[in-house]
Amino acid sequence: MKLRMFLMLFAAMILSPAAQAANEGIGWIPTWNQAVAEARLTNKPILLMSGQPSCGGVPGVW
């Protein structure tokens, strides 16, 4: 699986100039509760992408 469950307050990430650099990553928020709390504080929408951190039972790959 290539995706994972992270929640991203994407308004900050999409609009961030830093995020456009080739070696930049995405600042995912790993749990629902954290993302909900941040969304309420920042009034930003949530991009929820969930995936399984294993494939065929083998970890270390989505």
Partner 1 sequence: MTYESASEAQIMKSYWRPGAELENTLFVILTPDLRPLTRGARSPDWMFGNAQNMAAGLNNVAMQYRSGANPHSLPTVQTVRLGLNVAACDKRPLAVVVADSEEDRQTLEKRLAPVAWSGDFIGKIIYTSGTRNELTGIYGANLARGYLFIAPNEFGTTGAVVAQLDPRASTTDLASALKVAIDRYRPQEMDHREHIRQGRQQGIQWTTAIPVTDPHSPEAAQNGGRFGGGGGRFGGPPMGPGMD
Residues in contact with partner 1 by CB under 8 A are 1, 3-5, 9-16, 18-19, 24-32, 34, 36-62
Question: Least distance in Å: CB of 31 to partner 1?
Answer: 6
- Residue closest to 35 by CA, chosen among 49, 24, 17: 49
Rounded to a whole number of angstroms, the minimum distance from the CB of residue 35 to partner 1 is 9
C-beta neighbour count of 7 within 10 angstroms:
21
Output the smallest distance, CB 45 to partner 1, in A.
5
Triad 45, 25, 23: Cα angle to 5°: 145
